[in-house]
Amino acid sequence: MLIVLPGALPASPPIADELAKRLPATAPTLHAWLRAAEARAADFDPHDAGCTPYEAWQLARAGFQPAPGQQIGAGLGPLLAQATVDAPRAAGQAASPASRIAVPSFAPPDAVWIADLAHVALSTESANLLPLEALSLSAEEDAALHESARPLFAGTDFDALPLAPGRWRMRLPADLRPRTASPAAVGGQSLAGWWNQDAAVRPWRRLMNEIQMVWHDHPVNQSRADRGLPPVNTLWLYGGAAPWTPPAAASAPPVQVVEDLLPAYAAEDWGTWLQALQQLDARVLKPLSDARGMPAGPTDILLLGRDRRVDLTLKPRSRLLAWLPSSAKNWSAWWSPRA
């Protein structure tokens, strides 16, 4: 079995050090597994990839292979567009009108771009992106904001088609293929290092400025302010790859993806993160353990953070060795690495 735990690797050494002290009492099963596992740690550059390690793993699992010079994060365009179409079907519902017309209206689908509605918070020192997941945006708000922005696309090579509340599929000029990054990769960090300043992107930046002016005093944002919610003041563009055909399903160990840690991880709310880890440990890991607290069968764990990943391998010991003490691995060396 492979267990995937996004949001499991704190990025800051001081925070990682403090969490490591609490791990034995908070997550005793995970702590025991970390002490017994063979670990392979690898760095990950979100700027170069255009996505988070978790998104890169999802894309690799879906069979996406970037074209030469293309970021792996570009695959999020077709991946998310298709997931939006498939979600109602999986739930036994009819696809929404927007989902039904999304692909044909932009055919041929040689590049699938996504734009998420978002909030950029400005301070005297930096600008930070608050992603769609944190906005609590309704379908009615999305429709009203799209309606107000739609006239601005007239006479341009840009267009936007809602896929789901807060997520639009974009059409860009055929010769415009900017390097972008997903909102998850950018969220919680200063945007200074993420803005695309290429001259070719000026038409998109100009369009964004016009949309931001229309949305500045929009009734949707006035209502959101009255309710203490952040305004929707920008679109964040990402994706850009062509759709691909996923590989045929192959025989492989089962995969369990547990996203319990992600919300608190993204918010850097480490108290809530510890609570989520405690519940995850009891609900997911402990039932998979034998009488010694070790995995009952061969188990791999993938721990994912903001800029690195750690693959863990645990193999059951033979009956002859099962009750003999085993040497503990120095898991803190990769949990809180120093430069």
80 within some domain: yes
Return the pLDDT at 104. Answer: 40
Same domain, 90 and 230: yes
Same domain, 285 and 141: no
Q: Please identify, among 191, 214, 241, the residue that sits at the C-terminal boundary of a domain.
A: 241
pLDDT mean over 214-237: 96
227 within some domain: yes
Same domain, 203 and 319: no
**Interatomic CA distance for residues 27 and 35, integer angstroms:** 12
pLDDT category, 93, cuts 50, 70, 90? low
pLDDT mean over 222-235: 96
pLDDT mean over 49-68: 96
Domains of the chain: total: 2
**DSSP for residue 282:** I
Which residues are bridge partners to 4 per DSSP?
Answer: 257, 302
Q: Please identify, among 217, 241, 265, the residue that sits at the C-terminal boundary of a domain.
A: 241
Contact 329, 37 (CB under 8 A): yes
pLDDT mean over 85-89: 55
Q: Please identify, among 241, 276, 310, the residue that sits at the C-terminal boundary of a domain.
A: 241
Return the pLDDT at 315. Answer: 85
Distances (CA, A) of 77 to 84, 104, 310: 11, 15, 26
Same domain, 42 and 113: no
Same domain, 299 and 275: yes
pLDDT category, 102, cuts 50, 70, 90? very low
Same domain, 181 and 135: yes
Contacts of 143 by beta carbon, 8 Å cutoff, 6+ apart: 162
Q: What is the domain range of residue 88?
A: 64-241
pLDDT mean over 171-197: 89
Q: Please say if the pLDDT value at position 312 is more than 70.
A: yes
Same domain, 81 and 159: yes
Same domain, 234 and 291: no
Same domain, 31 and 70: no
pLDDT, tens digit (0-9, with 9 covering 90-100), for 144-176? 999 999 999 999 999 999 999 999 999 999 889
316 within some domain: yes
Q: Which residue has the higher pLDDT, 165 or 329?
A: 165
Return the pLDDT at 60. Answer: 95
| Full-model pTM | 0.89
130 within some domain: yes
**Interatomic CA distance for residues 105 and 190, integer angstroms:** 36
State the alpha helices, DSSP H only, in the chain. 13-26, 28-36, 46-49, 53-61, 76-90, 97-105, 139-153, 183-186, 202-216, 219-226, 262-267, 270-280, 332-335
Q: Look at 22-36, 40-54, 198-212, 306-320 and tell me which has the smallest mean pLDDT.
A: 306-320
74 within some domain: yes
58 within some domain: no
% residues pLDDT > 90 (the chain) = 69
% residues pLDDT > 70 (the chain) = 87
Residue 172, token pair as written in the block: 């860009």
Contacts of 170 by beta carbon, 8 Å cutoff, 6+ apart: 113, 114, 115, 158, 159, 160, 161, 237
Average pLDDT across the chain, whole number: 88
Instruction: Please write down the HEC assignment for all residues of 292-326.
Output: CCCECCCEEEEEEECCEEEEEEECCCCCCCCCCCC
Contact 107, 278 (CB under 8 A): no
pLDDT category, 326, cuts 50, 70, 90? low
Same domain, 34 and 174: no
CB hemisphere CA count around 331 (13 angstroms): 23
124 within some domain: yes
**DSSP for residue 283:** I
82 within some domain: yes
Contact 116, 236 (CB under 8 A): yes
pLDDT mean over 251-257: 85
Same domain, 227 and 88: yes
